[in-house]
Amino acid sequence: MVIALGDSITAGFGMLSGRPPVASVWEYRGKVFSIGGDLDEAYTLPSFLSVYSSKLTGASYGVSVPLARGKQLNNAVSGAKAQDLDQQVTRLVRQLQKPEYHSHKNDWKLITLFIGANNVCMLCTPPITGLPNIADVDVFDQHVRLTLERLRWEVGHAFVNLVALFNVSSVYEASRGNPYCEMVLDPSHMVICSCLQADDDQRLAADLVVQGYNERLALIAQEYQTLHDPYFAVSYQPGFKSFPVGKYKQRYLSGFDCFHPNRCANQVMATVLWNNMFSNQVEKLQPYHLSNLTFICPNAQRPYFQ
């Protein structure tokens, strides 16, 4: 069984959408790196896993309208922050009670959690008086921990991928020199992430927050490994930190908003995440080149996710 929690990136927002005014804007959940199940030879974790099991459940198919609450067991919601994960887990727990999933209650589940971009983007937005800073690393840490505890006790039999974030500044670099992207990312047209329209100092501050999130994800995963729970495992997957978004400009970003990963990027992300899952802690951190990515496959010495 495959499950995904997260935001618009995991919802597949704008993945295949073109430029206005003729663009059709959907969430392409069937092609998302972590849980897409469309039968068109897309590179996704479910398509890789199907080589080893013909009884995979939970993969998402087709499209959904923006801001949909989820599709199949892809519970990601566009615009979600770490604080919204609790709602996604509540929906997941209800789903798993339904007949089509309840019979798989004790099956192992691969859960991919990829969240935090919207928290980071709030760093460059004036805070609301009296409320905690949504971008605060401690706030992010708290909600990820609460989510994992709910997954452990209310879902169980799970291997959880905690996926690292990439830097906001790299997306800004990818938009430079592209008139359409510079227009779209101008705050007078579309506010996708306020840190993209900020100054260099604020973008640097946003990248430091991303670094803080990733460090906490690594620490949380390490702490869960010390529990030695035979029915629940958590692993930090850092591969996306090395995704050179700025280097490749718009080749890996949505034609609609110049921000969200396009289909090509999702296929690279699926490959990188898959390889991370079968790599040890040192190998996970090794740099990779998009032009010659190869697959790491399970073998007798390393048959399980790591």
Tell me, letter by letter, the H, E, C secondary structure of the chain.
CEEEEECHHHHCECCCCCCCCCCCCCECHHHCCCCECCCCCCCCHHHHHCCCCCCCCCCECCCECCCCCCECCECCCCCCCHHHHHHHHHHHHHHCCCHHHHCCCCCCEEEEEECCHHHHHHHHCCCCCCCCCCCCHHHHHHHHHHHHHHHHHHHCCEEEEEECCCCHHHHHHHHCCCHHHHHHCCCCCCCCCHHHCCCHHHHHHHHHHHHHHHHHHHHHHHHHHCCCCCCEEEEEECHHHHCCCCCCHHHHECCCCCCCECHHHHHHHHHHHHHHHCCCHHHHCCCCCHHHCCCCCCCCCCCCCC
CA separation for the pair 233, 138 (Å, rounded): 22
Instruction: Please name every residue paired with 71 in a beta bridge, in sequence order, or none if there are none.
Output: 74
CA separation for the pair 4, 298 (Å, rounded): 22
Domain ranges, ordered by start, for the chain: 2-292
Give the pLDDT of the chain (306 residues) as one tens digit per residue: 999 999 999 999 999 988 876 678 899 999 999 999 998 767 999 999 998 888 899 999 999 999 999 999 999 999 999 999 999 999 999 999 999 888 888 899 999 999 999 999 888 776 654 456 888 999 999 999 999 999 999 999 999 999 999 987 888 888 888 888 888 877 666 667 877 777 888 888 889 999 999 999 999 999 999 998 999 999 999 999 988 888 888 899 998 988 899 999 999 999 999 999 999 889 999 888 888 888 888 877 777 787
| Cβ–Cβ under 8 Å, residues 209 and 123 | yes
| Cβ–Cβ under 8 Å, residues 246 and 174 | yes
Position 253, amino acid? L
CATH 3.40.640.10 fits 2-292, yes or no: no
Which pLDDT score, from 0 to 100, does residue 189 have? 61
Task: Name the nearest CA neighbour of 182 among 118, 249, 248, 239.
Answer: 249
Instruction: Please name every residue paired with 27 in a beta bridge, in sequence order, or none if there are none.
Output: 13, 64
Question: Alpha-carbon dihedral of residues 250, 4, 67, 28, nearest 10 degrees?
Answer: 50
CA separation for the pair 153, 33 (Å, rounded): 26
